[in-house]
Amino acid sequence: MAFKNARVIACLALAALFAVPLGDAKAEACGNGPEGFDRWIAAYKGRAQRQGISAGAIASGLQGVDYDRRVIGLDRGQKSFKLSFEQFYARRVSQSMIKRGRGIVAQRRALFDQIERRFGVPPEILVAIWALETNFGGDSGGKFSIVQSLATLAYDCRRSAFFENELTNALRIIDKGDISVERMRGGWAGEIGPMQFLPSSYAKYAVDFDGDGRRDLFGSVPDMLASTANYMKQKGWRAGQPWGEGTANYAVIREWNKAEVYVKTIATMAERMR
């Protein structure tokens, strides 16, 4: 009961932070079901505009957005991170995946060398992340509307503030013309492209590495790999240093994903690809 009350207090505090009129207080509250979602969206539009998002981007980005029960079910159903490392690694990594990863490094050696010279991150780390996130792009699917997923999770009481920030960044991406509304489809938690960047990470770390004037994390392999390397570099990656447990670089991998089994799997898979 105390935890539930804390979540409600946190949501009310967030509403106060945006200094909305008292009459909108009900619309500002988070919820644990579809009731109130439309009111929340109506109030959120005002907050987004005050964050500098244009009315056009807000209207087009949020048009037709509904509460998505599938997203909530997937959010509540994450169980793999509770496995032991041995169980998680066996479930997510195979020898054929490692072999494929080595082949990708060999095939794109010139690109990986350019990325490592600029950002200091070795290809095995990037390929391990690519493999684990979406099986080298095979599982990214684009099944979910990124904006709808983020709006649903922002309204949900579990992590409201975190996902509202991601929703605002998604609208900012649309507003800048980096990605069209129609193309904003990805993972159930709002992830963009095969490397599964959240919108806030896209805004901070995405780079145009192929020189076409766009930061394309959907279709440009150079952009998505270099953007991941840039993320790691900005988080403190130390070029030429090991990445095993206890190292500074292992801590950087933890910035990518907080789950210890995931961090250890990236580090182990990368080592086995060498």
104 and 147 assigned to the same domain: no
Same domain? For 201 and 129 the reply is yes
The residue whose two tokens read 């938690």 is 189
Structure tokens given for 269? 């898979």
- How many CA atoms does the CB half-sphere of 68 hold within 13 Å? 21
Token representation of residue 202: 């896209």
Where does the pLDDT of residue 48 fall: very low under 50, low under 70, confident under 90, or very high at 90 and above?
very high
Express each pLDDT in 153-192 by its tens digit. Answer: 999 999 999 999 999 999 999 999 888 999 999 999 999 9
Give the up-direction half-sphere exposure of residue 102: CA atoms within 13 A in the CB hemisphere: 10
Q: How far is CA 158 from its chain centroid?
A: 17
Q: Which residues touch 40 (CB under 8 Å, ≥6 apart)?
A: 27, 28, 29, 30, 31, 155
Asked if 199 and 236 sit in the same domain, the reply is yes
107-145 pLDDT, tens digit per residue, is: 999 999 999 999 999 999 999 999 999 999 888 656 899
CA angle 60, 65, 69 (to 5 degrees): 160
pLDDT band at 54 (very low <50, low <70, confident <90, very high): very high
Please give the Cα distance from 198 to 5 (Å, whole number): 29
Q: Which domain holds residue 219?
A: 80-140+193-273
Q: How many domains does the chain contain in total?
A: 2
Q: For residue 90, how many other CB atoms are within 10 A of its CB? A: 11
Same structural domain, 96 and 59: no
* Shared domain check, 116 and 90: yes
Looking at the DSSP bridge assignments, the partners of residue 185 are: 145
